[in-house]
Amino acid sequence: MTDRIDMTHGGGGRAMADLIRDVFHKHLGNEVLDRGDDAGLFAVQKGRMVMSTDGHVISPLFFPGGDIGSLSVHGTVNDLAMMGAKPLYLTAGFILEEGFPLADLERIVWSMAQAARAADVKVISGDTKVVERGKGDGVFITTTGVGAVPDGLDISVANVTAGQSIIVSGTMGDHGVAVLSKRENLEFETEICSDSAALHGLVADMVAAVPSIAMLRDPTRGGLSATLNEIATAAGVGMALDEAQIPVSPDVAAACELLGLDPLNTANEGKLIAICPRAEAQTLLAAMRAHPLGQRAVVIGETVADPAHLVQMETAFGGTRIVDWLSGEQLPRIC
């Protein structure tokens, strides 16, 4: 085998078949995928299912705490988990750039396989295409997932009303800072790792403890501020947050100070926001803190009636300010 992807790997011929066998099936293989059919066959459970898809274009491909492979599995598993579903199956589409090192591809696929195994999901179908040099960014991965939602669960933004508690599962901004630390021209060193993780185990414990959870969402791109604003707008409520309660690790805070970034606008890949009835908040927290991925869970505020749907925050300093959507991408600043 050559050591880089070339156009023949996408051509549908022998080279492509070899690649699929020697890299994808080798690591991702399971009884469904190994049948080698055009589509993955699975039995459908009774009840409701959810399906979600994600495109992954992250740069750099490898970062402290993960890579595009593990990230893609966690991302889709988490989308399903935010509906309270047990994730079952994934598909993965790869768009590879001509010239991409095969060793890197194998590393990524291996990482995907590890993440899938740990999350107890199977990749049951896949696709590979190759684009000419310069037309891709190394590799793009699209994952689609299906999961089953247990009877009786109704987790949706439609359930959000005023007077509910807003909880986060842990520290904010870790993933965004970890990825930024690897970007050129910013060059800072840190031990900060991405928090990329599959959250469905935590979610299962949460819904078992508090079936009346209103909604769940993971604050990925745009960070906590974007996600809370999305929810506020969709649900037609305002929010009142307490900055002193929002957990940010000292290293993340320091990196953000250095670059002029706001941890609230910075991406997370292994955290969730839960909104639940106020009376259930302590029960929910106890369940979360008992799980490794929710040890720093805390109530950060509550939903309020507000025709303007603003997310407002009492600052740690004692004043009040709005937590707004980010405009465009967060850029380091000098001023």
Partner 1 sequence: MCLAIPAKVLSIEPDDMAVVTVENVRKRISTALLDQVAVGDYLLIHVGYALHKLSEEEAAHTLSLMAEAGILQEELAEISGEPTCAT
Partner 2 sequence: MRYISEFRDRTLADNLANRIAQEVQPDREYHFMEFCGGHTHAIFRYGVQDLMPQNVHFVHGPGCPVCVLPVRRLDDAVELAEKHDVILCTYGDMMRVPGTGRRSLIKAKADGADIRMVYSTLDALKIARDNSNKQVVFFAIGFETTTPPTAVAIKMAQAEELTNFTVFCNHVLTPAAIGHILDSPDFAPGGPGRIDGFLGPSHVSAVIGSQPYEAAAQKYQKPVVIAGFEPLDVMQSVLMLIRQANAGRAEVENQYTRVVTREGNRKAQDLVADVLELRDSFEWRGLGAVPDSALQISDNFAAYDAEKRFRVSQKQSREVKSCECPAVLRGVKKPTDCKLFGTVCTPDNPMGACMVSSEGACAAYWSYGRQRAPRDAA
Among 133, 135, 278, 321, binds partner 2 (CB under 8 A): 321
Residue 264: CB minimum distance to partner 1, A: 17
Positions 187 through 246 that interact with partner 2 (CB under 8 A): 187, 244
Question: Taking the CA of residue 196 as centre, how many other CA atoms within 13 Å lie in the half-sphere pointing to its CB?
Answer: 29
Question: Does the protein bind partner 2 through residue 134 (CB under 8 A)?
Answer: no
Q: Which two tokens stand for residue 40?
A: 């993955």
Nearer to partner 1, 153 or 259 (CB): 259
Residue 190 contact among partner 1, partner 2, none, beta carbon within 5 to 8 Å by kind = partner 1
Nearer to partner 2, 290 or 316 (CB): 316
Question: Does the protein bind partner 2 through residue 59 (CB under 8 A)?
Answer: no
Residue 116: CB minimum distance to partner 2, A: 35
Q: What is the C-alpha to C-alpha distance for residues 111 and 245, in angstroms, rounded to an integer?
A: 34
Question: Does the protein bind partner 1 through residue 331 (CB under 8 A)?
Answer: no
Q: What is the C-alpha to C-alpha distance for residues 71 and 73, in angstroms, rounded to an integer?
A: 5
Q: Which stretch binds partner 1 (CB under 8 A): 107-115, 229-237, 252-260, 274-282?
A: 252-260
Q: Which two tokens stand for residue 260?
A: 């002029």
Question: Does the protein bind partner 2 through residue 304 (CB under 8 A)?
Answer: no
Q: Which stretch binds partner 2 (CB under 8 A): 21-29, 155-163, 266-274, 323-331?
A: 323-331
Question: Does the protein bind partner 1 through residue 315 (CB under 8 A)?
Answer: no
Vertex 42 angle, CA 38 and 46, to 5°: 145
Q: What count of residues does the chain have?
A: 335
Nearer to partner 2, 8 or 233 (CB): 233
The pairing of strands 122-131 and 164-168 is: unpaired
Q: What is the C-alpha to C-alpha distance for residues 297 and 284, in angstroms, rounded to an integer?
A: 9
Contact (CB, 8 A) for 234 and 140: no
Give the amino acid at 81: A
Contact (CB, 8 A) for 54 and 75: yes
Among 258, 279, 290, 322, binds partner 1 (CB under 8 A): 258
Among 199, 207, 255, 310, binds partner 1 (CB under 8 A): 255
Among 18, 37, 120, 257, binds partner 1 (CB under 8 A): 257
Question: Does the protein bind partner 1 through residue 187 (CB under 8 A)?
Answer: yes
Nearer to partner 2, 44 or 334 (CB): 334
Query: Residue 188, Cβ neighbours under 10 Å: how many?
Result: 14
The pairing of strands 298-304 and 320-322 is: unpaired
Vertex 183 angle, CA 24 and 227, to 5°: 80
**Secondary structure letter of residue 173 according to DSSP:** S
Q: Is the dihedral angle over the CA atoms 255, 260, 265, 266 positive or is it negative?
A: negative
Residue 100: CB minimum distance to partner 2, A: 23
Nearer to partner 1, 44 or 335 (CB): 335
Question: Does the protein bind partner 1 through residue 308 (CB under 8 A)?
Answer: no
Question: Taking the CA of residue 286 as centre, how many other CA atoms within 13 Å lie in the half-sphere pointing to its CB?
Answer: 7
Among 41, 43, 44, 308, binds partner 2 (CB under 8 A): 308
Number of residues that bind partner 2 (CB under 8 A): 30
Query: Residue 254, Cβ neighbours under 10 Å: how many?
Result: 15
**Site residues, partner 2 (CB under 8 A):** 185-187, 244, 250, 253-254, 257, 259-260, 308, 310, 312, 314-322, 324, 327-328, 331-335
**Site residues, partner 1 (CB under 8 A):** 187-192, 250-251, 253-255, 257-258, 260, 318, 333-335
